Each structure stands twice: as C-alpha cells, then as structure tokens.
Amino acid sequence: MKLLKIKEFRKAAGLTQKDLGDMVGASPVSISFYENGIQSPDVNMLKKLADALCTSVDALVEHNQILGDEEWQFRENIRNNPNYRLLFSAAKTAKPEHLRAAVAVLQSLKGEENDN
C-alpha cells in the first residue's frame, strides 16, 4: 500500500528519482520503490527525504490512508484545539476508542457539547 507522497513532492520540486537519490544517498531504484510502496524507507531515510524535498515527514505520510478519513479528521480536530494539546501528544499512539473516550471525558468535565 502506498502511504507516502514522495513522488508528488519530488515532481513538484522538479527532481528526477536520480536527483533525489543523489541528495539523500539512495539509488533511483530505492526512490522508485519508496514512491510505489514496494519498500518503505526507514525513519532516518524518511527524514532525509523530507529535508531534501523541503517539507516535513508528516507531510509525506498519507495519514488518511492509515487511519481513514473520519479518524484522521477527528485527530486533526484534537491537534488544532489548544485545550487538547496534551491529549494530542498522547494520541499519537492511542487506540481510536481510547482517544474518543478521553475527549468525551474532557468535554464532560468542561461542560462542552460533543462535536467530534
């Protein structure tokens, strides 16, 4: 499954697979494999790719393909709500049902309506 947007960022930067490979110390074949989901880059390579493409690791990852659109939007709402910053940092590894329960508790304590 293709989970990365490397190709989109590479093309937007006007780079070939060889150009990007030279920048990050990888072969054009490896870049092709990353772009097509045949092989996944390790964390260090992902950081190098993001730096070379002038973006963040987060921007390269297709989160909605991992989580699903609804779950991704729910997490984005938490991330963007200043009242839930601490929850967001914990939410990165939380199971969806635990995250929803935590938000419900916080909303209940604050007397908010549940809009997520």
pLDDT tens readout for residues 57-100:
888 886 544 556 666 677 667 767 777 666 666 666 667 777 77
The fold adopted by the segment(s) 6-61 is 434 Repressor (Amino-terminal Domain) (1.10.260)
Identify the pLDDT of residue 107. Answer: 77
Q: What is the DSSP string of 13-51?
A: TT--HHHHHHHHT--HHHHHHHHHTSS---HHHHHHHHH
Helix, strand, coil abundance in the chain, percent, nearest 5 = 70, 0, 30
**Per-residue confidence band for 30, with pLDDT thresholds at 50, 70 and 90:** very high
Does 1 have pLDDT greater than 50? Answer: no
Q: Where are the domains of the chain?
A: 6-61, 67-110
Identify the pLDDT of residue 19. Answer: 96
**pTM (two decimals):** 0.55
